[in-house]
Structure 1
């Protein structure tokens, strides 16, 4: 009977974790930000006790499991609604290399060594650190790299360009419909200029979900209404 109970509890624990994973969504699995990491560790510990710890009643374990699931879901929900909360819960991307210079202070704060940085760069097929223009540690722990112009692979579009300007770091102007004033101030961009660019595109500020000046200097806008007749939504 004890073995049978353990089997049933293990099956129940596995089923519950599958349901919780579906509720929390793919982003939790893929990104693993600070609060995602805490939620996964805690839920895993509770589920493990549910599977084999016969000294604790199933009712108490289920209550604890559902409570932590609710907390994780609410944190994810409020993070999506509020950029400041998302920044506090999940953290911010950190620049490790800027304009070809290693940011030692940022690396010390994150306790990242040069060996680790070089290892991550090799994972991006970059074996010479001097080829890197920007390197950013993302929220999920991965490192995004922008190579210097002379180290970037040639594309079909490049073959038709005579003069290539040096790439700059992308500047996010609007996120989740909110203007990022800090980025405007750091780059001497006024709200009036931003509004004028939005107007040139035939848009209104209320319809813009995301706006960014890309590394090649182009201004990109994403509307809330995508105007796609048959959007692709693959599970």
Structure 2
């Protein structure tokens, strides 16, 4: 009976956390601030106890879980209305590099080393710190970078290239060998048209793992059989 009770409690805990994540929204998951970090740890601890701690009443755990969820939601709601509260809960962006100069005092305050800063810059494809005009540590821990004017990548606008061809959002047609009927319906694409495109490529639908209409309008097909003589296999 204890095993079945633990199983039921675990399923209930997982379901509740999924519902709470839905309530709090995608932004909380994608951009974790101080408030989100504390809420996630607290809710995770309560949910873990709900899953396996048989010594605490389920009613008490559910009450605690609902209370913390309510607190998190209300704080998120009021912080959207009040900037001072939002700054206190989520923090403020901090400048790390200003006009090409590293602000050591801000680095020390945030306990960020030069190694960490260089690592974050490399993740932005900047390997020379002297190419940075501004670097800002955002509230979610990510670093935003403004390169110096001479180090900025060249754009089509800089080259005076006027390409106004329409770009669309990619439309996935087949995934894991199955046709995504909802995407076909939403974009007025018929299965007959899809089969005709597969036939043009000399393929059969049974051999296709993934198919997508890319942003430039071309269709990409990925077969189960890769036809690569020496595939790279790295753990």
**TM-score of the aligned structures, taking structure 1 as reference length:** 0.67
Deviation string 1:90-116 (CA, Å, 9 cap, x unpaired) is: 000000000000010000000000000
Q: 1:110 maps to what in 2?
A: 110
Instruction: Give the gaps of 5 or more residues in structure 2.
Output: 161-235
Q: Report the alpha carbon displacement of residue 159 of structure 1 after superposing the two structures with TM.
A: 2.6
Q: Does the residue aligned with 2:112 lie in a helix, a strand or coil?
A: coil
Q: Report the alpha carbon displacement of residue 157 of structure 1 after superposing the two structures with TM.
A: 1.4
Residue 29 in structure 1 maps to residue 29 in structure 2: yes
Q: 1:54 maps to what in 2?
A: 54
Report the Cα distance in structure 2 between the residues aligned to 1:61 and 1:85, rounded to whole angstroms.
29
Residue 73 in structure 1 maps to residue 89 in structure 2: no
Instruction: Give the gaps of 5 or more residues in structure 1.
Output: 161-235
Deviation string 1:198-217 (CA, Å, 9 cap, x unpaired) is: xxxxxxxxxxxxxxxxxxxx
Residue 125 in structure 1 maps to residue 125 in structure 2: yes
Deviation string 1:9-46 (CA, Å, 9 cap, x unpaired) is: 00000000000000000011011100000000000000
Q: Does the residue aligned with 1:136 lie in a helix, a strand or coil?
A: strand
Count of residues in correspondence between the two structures:
161
**TM-score of the aligned structures, taking structure 2 as reference length:** 0.67
Q: Does the residue aligned with 2:56 lie in a helix, a strand or coil?
A: coil
- Over 4 Å off, 4+ runs: none
Report the Cα distance in structure 2 between the residues aligned to 1:156 and 1:9, rounded to whole angstroms.
57
Alignment of 1:176-215 (within 5 A): none
Q: 1:142 maps to what in 2?
A: 142
Report the Cα distance in structure 1 between the residues aligned to 2:82 and 2:30, rounded to whole angstroms.
20
Q: Does the residue aligned with 2:30 lie in a helix, a strand or coil?
A: helix
Q: Does the residue aligned with 1:4 lie in a helix, a strand or coil?
A: helix
Q: 2:19 maps to what in 1?
A: 19
Report the Cα distance in structure 2 between the residues aligned to 1:64 and 1:118, rounded to whole angstroms.
42
> Looking at CA atoms only, which structure, 1 or 2, has the larger radius of gyration?
2
Give the superposed CA RMSD: 1.1
Q: Does the residue aligned with 2:159 lie in a helix, a strand or coil?
A: helix
Q: 2:208 maps to what in 1?
A: none
Deviation string 1:131-161 (CA, Å, 9 cap, x unpaired) is: 000000001000000100111001121234x
Report the Cα distance in structure 2 between the residues aligned to 1:103 and 1:158, rounded to whole angstroms.
32
Q: Does the residue aligned with 2:13 lie in a helix, a strand or coil?
A: helix
